[in-house]
Amino acid sequence: MIYGVCTSLAIYAHFFAVLVCFTQLISLPLLGRKNIPWKGVAASVATTALLLSPILLFGPIGNSLVTWIQPPTWHDLYHFFRKVTGSQPLLLLYFLFCTIGLLSTVRQRSDSTSVPPAWRGLSVAMWVILPPVITFAYSLIVSPMFVNRYLIISVPALALLAAAGISRLPRPWMQAFVLILVLLLSSRGLHWWYAAREKSDWRGVTALIKSQAESGDAAICYTYGCQWVFEYYLNRSADERDYPVPLRLARETRVGRNAVDTMDTGLLESLPAAYERVWLVLHADMVFKDQPDRSIIMDTLKTHYTYTSEHDFPSIRVLLFSKASP
C-alpha cells in the first residue's frame, strides 16, 4: 500500500513516472513466481488506481499541451542517452560501468535472501532503457511525446547501475579515480547550464516596463506560454502600480481532443480605443518572426500607433508603441 501511495505521488508530480511503475511491474516475473509478493502487489495496484482515478476522470488526457513536439528520429534516441549522461565521453563511461554493474549482478550467486541477484541488476537496467524506448515507440506509432527532459525519470536508475559497476573495481583508489573523472567531465556541462547558458531575463523585462510605464499603458505578449510567465513576474514586482495592464492576446481553443493556441484578434483591434501606449513582449522572436500572427500584430499596431522604442534582453525583445498624434 505504501508503494501505491508513493507511486501515485510520483505520477502526480511527473506523468511519465507511470513508465517507472510499468517497468517495475513487468520485472516481477524475474523474481520467480514463488518470490512475488502477490498480496502486496495487488494492494499497491489497487491503491494506485484509486488515488489516480481523478486523473482518469478529470485529468488532461489527450490535451495538446505537447502539440509542438515533432516525431523523433533514431538519432533522437541516441541523443537522449548522450544528453542524459552529459557528453560523448561520459556516455561511453556510463555505458562501460553500467555494463559491468549489470553483468556482475547477473552472475552473482544467490544469497540467503529471497531476491534473486539477477533481478536487482536487470530491473534497474529495464528502468534505464524501457521508459525512453517505450516513449520513442509511442511517438512513432501514436503521437509525438519524446522529449529529453520528460525522461529524467531514468536518471536515478542510470546512476544506480553505474555506481554498481564502479563499486566492482578491485581497488578503492580506482573507484575514487573514476568518480573524480566523472565529476571533471560533468563540470563543463554544469558550468554551461548554470552560468554560461543564456536565460530569458524576465526580471529585467518587467523591471524596465514597470519603471517606464504610464497610466493608460497595456502590455501584450505574442506567444501563449509567454504571457503567463510575463504576468507572473509582473505580479511579483515590488512596484505596486496597477499599470501597465497585462492583456492575454493568445487564447486556448479546443479542436476535438486537442487544444490549439489562437490569437484574440478582437482584443488586438480594440487596443487603440482603450490604451494610449502598448508594450509588446516578443519571446524567442528569432524563432517566431516568420509566423503569420506576428505579422498581423505588428501591422495592426503600426497602423494605429507610432513605433517608439525597442529594448533587447536575452531571448526577449520589448517594443513600445505610442498612439500617433492626430
Domain shared by 164 and 77, yes or no: yes
Half-sphere exposure at residue 88, Cβ-oriented, CA atoms within 13 angstroms: 0
Query: Are the C-beta atoms of 219 and 281 separated by less than 8 Å?
Result: yes
Q: Is 182 in a helix, a strand, or coil?
A: helix
> Could you tell me how far CA 231 lies from the centroid of its own chain?
21
Domain end call among 197, 221, 250: 197
Domain shared by 168 and 261, yes or no: no
Query: Are the C-beta atoms of 107 and 165 separated by less than 8 Å?
Result: no
CATH number of the domain that residue 212 is part of: 3.40.50
Measure the CA angle with vertex 31, ends 27 and 37; round to 5°: 95
Domain shared by 119 and 186, yes or no: yes
Domain shared by 96 and 181, yes or no: yes
Domain shared by 175 and 284, yes or no: no
Domain shared by 118 and 169, yes or no: yes
Domain shared by 57 and 69, yes or no: no
pLDDT number for residue 32: 80
Domain shared by 224 and 102, yes or no: no
Total tally of structural domains belonging to the chain: 3
Domain end call among 144, 170, 197: 197
Query: Are the C-beta atoms of 280 and 301 separated by less than 8 Å?
Result: yes
Counting Cβ atoms within 10 Å, is residue 74 exposed (0-12), middle (13-18) or buried (19+)? Answer: exposed
Domain shared by 68 and 186, yes or no: yes
> What are the pLDDT tens digits along the chain (326 aa)?
788 899 999 988 888 999 999 999 999 888 888 888 888 889 988 999 899 888 777 655 444 456 668 889 999 999 999 989 988 999 999 999 999 999 988 887 766 566 777 888 899 999 999 999 999 999 999 888 899 989 999 999 999 999 999 999 999 999 999 999 999 999 888 888 787 777 888 999 999 999 999 988 999 987 767 888 888 998 887 777 778 999 888 776 665 545 566 788 888 899 999 999 999 998 876 545 667 778 888 889 999 999 999 999 888 889 999 986 54
- Provide the domain limits for residue 98: 64-197
Q: Which of 96, 161, 316 is nearest to 227 (CA)?
A: 316
Domain end call among 147, 181, 197: 197
Domain shared by 238 and 275, yes or no: yes
Helices (H), the chain: 2-13, 17-26, 38-51, 53-58, 74-85, 88-107, 117-141, 155-166, 172-191, 202-212, 224-236, 265-274, 285-288, 292-304
Look-up of cell digits 487596443: 271
Give the three cell numbers for residue 74.
533514431
Give the three cell numbers for residue 203.
526580471
Distance CA 27, CA 130 (A): 11
pLDDT number for residue 236: 85
pLDDT number for residue 92: 94
